Structure 1
């Protein structure tokens, strides 16, 4: 089959569009076999088979090739090797713009394989060259990659700085919807980490719309997951139903992580810690596949534990710590530590009696504004009285 297709490419009477289609069909067959080494060899020897092929058409074919490749954790190593070979070939052939485009794709592959430091090391030189050629789209893309890499290595200040660079450049130049969606997605993630879930949800909505418009379904699904998560965290569960009825979200309803998040939403709304814990344990593999979702669900777990403790102590003025621990299924030391933190955070208005091992609740919190006003009046009286006596 491949030899027949190569025959079509060699035939000088074949029209250019048919030759291009034949080359792409060869790539499709090789991709299905997982033979990325042969794909590289085919591209490098393409001019021998197709004598009058132009550089723009080669560039177009390579771009179409990488749109055909299924990006998954299983084949990223092979894709990275292919890109390394093609970058070296483009450099030898003095195809500068093509080489830079391939360098950007290589950086993306490095990110996907978790080689963040290596990706960051390559971004600087490539960005410097892109500025010379005024290639703003690839430059915006690089800033987005840089932001992601810094975020993964926990350098939050630099990740935000890179994202700001991408956002500023996107305003001054044409930015494709799917690229703007990546900027919006990262913006939402960083704002979520600051616990500002209401604002973050608006960015996730923009990202969802951008990826849907760009027909990037996997990324759109991730945006929807994060949107649902932000609604749960912002305690706006009723808005999730509205989101799920949207036409653009219907195709993602079967996503397993989305179903998990909807179960989490129900448990959180009912302050049901046991149900929440069961969901986390049952779907542990799916949850841990996304570190962002995992970290925020852990934070939500802490909030739910707080809610459950408050729910238990509400009817009492004095309650034994061991009773709270027994109801929730935790050790006494864990609950005591949690109560101490809640008292310091003013979530609970009470004191711990270490002798009787109980929590003494002090009723309603004092009106601090009234106390402050009283202190002001006392100080004012003191200023009047002190000089006279």
Structure 2
């Protein structure tokens, strides 16, 4: 390759892009080339483009922007996030000093790249905080708020839910309300919902969704936002055990997301090299997979297992998700539940290292409890007295766990019996009908009192 002083910068950049698309070229080689371009002092870069390479200022700015973003993508692909952090912090100074109007656009692209497969949450938070400080010093209020949203999102992903909520409620929501920025407020309320949901404060999570719905009535929002809100509504209804309504929301959300997924997946060859685009497609796929699992879960929880076949017959399921490990796991759960097999269900749960979704796991625990109760009642039903150890052997669970569960069932009134913990026996009694004579007598006495009161009033008048 020709030296930097004798070859047009635009040609050098084009050659670097071409090498990147060539699978035989290592990313490190391309990084070296683009780093040399990026390290040229901007004043020299501008002068040479205008004076020597017959370019203009606007074209030079556009080329510089492409170089910065492309270098960011290369660092991302190479997972060199320390270098990407330095690039972001250095670039914001160069962009602000030379073409201020582009700063938000370029930094947003770099931030998206910075978050891809980046496990170093501390580096992410420190970098964004430094960028917020720079934006505040330069009095770029909108940029600072945009970065604060990014910080709140990072704190959420870092499981600092209370800190994320603090940023949202003390610094962002009130600020965007004053600006009447409805589209940003929707994003903030969605993030607020996610924080409250993780904290298991479902009432406040639902209030966040209500705030979103109120805003949507007065502003246009894209289809993906509507799809996300449908999914979140489904989650809340699921937590409230209204599985039929939850299923309706999940189904609607799935259809909309799948339409978007098909559009994104059938992109041109140029997009297939775009790291940000690849991540968006992958994210859509993961959301669709979650929605399918939620839909199947709703049918199980509503005790409509026979209707799950309609989900399996969806074209999207057959074409895209059929052999997925997560769905095979859920299929195994369905089979164990349908067979009323507690042993198989227990085996599935104990070997689970695939599904880590909070909604799925919490409901699997509920399902396990339902199956355990059904199995216990089925075993106990023919007996007047049974050893707890015998129940433990039949079900294949520890004695203490069975003893505790039987105690709960007696207290809940699901078993009419008495547990002798000293001897390890469970005595089961017939379900004796309640004697209602006392209650009927009390009602009769009350009515007679009312009649006597009326007679006393009439006797008083006669006197």
TM-score interval, smaller chain: 0.7 to 0.9
Q: Decide whether aligned partners of structure 1 residues 162 and 356 sit closer, same or farther in structure 2, where only a CA change above 3 A counts.
A: closer
SS in 1 for 2:216: helix
Q: Does 1:309 align with 2:309?
A: no
CA contact (8 A) 1:36 1:78 kept: no
Aligned mates of 1:353, 1:114 — CA distance in 2: 43
Aligned mates of 1:311, 1:32 — CA distance in 2: 57
CA displacement at 1:106 relative to structure 2? 1.7
SS in 2 for 1:286: coil
Which residue among 185, 192, 198 is the counterpart of 2:244?
A: 198
- Which residue of structure 2 lines up, in the alignment, with residue 37 of structure 1? 85
CA contact (8 A) 1:143 1:163 kept: yes
Q: TM-score of the superposition, structure 1-length normalised? A: 0.82
- Taking only aligned residues, the RMSD between alpha carbons, in angstroms, comes to 3.5
Q: Decide whether aligned partners of structure 1 residues 195 and 384 sit closer, same or farther in structure 2, where only a CA change above 3 A counts.
A: same
CA displacement at 1:32 relative to structure 2? 2.3
CA contact (8 A) 1:130 1:139 kept: yes
Which residue among 87, 101, 106 is the counterpart of 2:146?
A: 101
Aligned mates of 2:389, 2:225 — CA distance in 1: 54
Which residue among 264, 283, 301 is the counterpart of 2:333?
A: 264
CA displacement at 1:280 relative to structure 2? 1.1
Q: Decide whether aligned partners of structure 1 residues 93 and 378 sit closer, same or farther in structure 2, where only a CA change above 3 A counts.
A: closer
Aligned mates of 1:383, 1:169 — CA distance in 2: 57
Aligned mates of 1:158, 1:382 — CA distance in 2: 46
- Which residue of structure 1 lines up, in the alignment, with residue 155 of structure 2? 110
CA contact (8 A) 2:385 2:425 kept: no
CA displacement at 1:113 relative to structure 2? 0.9
Write the mapping of 1:125-274 to structure 2, written as runs, cut at 5 A: 125-215=171-261, 216-249=284-317, 250-274=319-343
Write the mapping of 1:23-34 to structure 2, written as runs, cut at 5 A: 23-33=68-78, 34=80
- Which has the larger Rg? 2
Unaligned 5+ residue runs, structure 1?
none
Q: Decide whether aligned partners of structure 1 residues 383 and 157 sit closer, same or farther in structure 2, where only a CA change above 3 A counts.
A: closer
Aligned mates of 1:382, 1:140 — CA distance in 2: 59
CA displacement at 1:333 relative to structure 2? 4.4
Which residue among 119, 127, 133 is the counterpart of 1:82?
A: 127
CA contact (8 A) 1:127 1:142 kept: yes
- Pairs aligned (count): 378
Which residue among 47, 52, 55 is the counterpart of 2:95?
A: 47
Give CA deviations for 1:66-104 in whole Å, capped at 9, x if unaligned.
Answer: 444454461433333332232222223333222222221
CA displacement at 1:200 relative to structure 2? 2.0
SS in 2 for 1:114: coil
CA contact (8 A) 1:36 1:82 kept: no
Aligned mates of 2:253, 2:91 — CA distance in 1: 35
Q: Decide whether aligned partners of structure 1 residues 295 and 99 sit closer, same or farther in structure 2, where only a CA change above 3 A counts.
A: same
Q: Does 1:282 align with 2:351?
A: yes
CA displacement at 1:269 relative to structure 2? 1.1
CA displacement at 1:139 relative to structure 2? 0.9
Q: TM-score of the superposition, structure 2-length normalised? A: 0.71
Q: Decide whether aligned partners of structure 1 residues 110 and 356 sit closer, same or farther in structure 2, where only a CA change above 3 A counts.
A: closer
Unaligned 5+ residue runs, structure 2?
1-32, 262-283, 453-463
- Which residue of structure 2 lines up, in the alignment, with residue 295 of structure 1? 362
- Which residue of structure 2 lines up, in the alignment, with residue 338 of structure 1? 405
CA contact (8 A) 1:177 1:213 kept: no
Moved more, 259-268 or 215-224: 215-224
SS in 2 for 1:62: helix
Aligned mates of 2:135, 2:237 — CA distance in 1: 40
SS in 1 for 2:428: strand
CA displacement at 1:305 relative to structure 2? 0.4
Q: Decide whether aligned partners of structure 1 residues 374 and 214 sit closer, same or farther in structure 2, where only a CA change above 3 A counts.
A: farther
Q: Decide whether aligned partners of structure 1 residues 381 and 65 sit closer, same or farther in structure 2, where only a CA change above 3 A counts.
A: same
Moved more, 179-188 or 27-36: 179-188
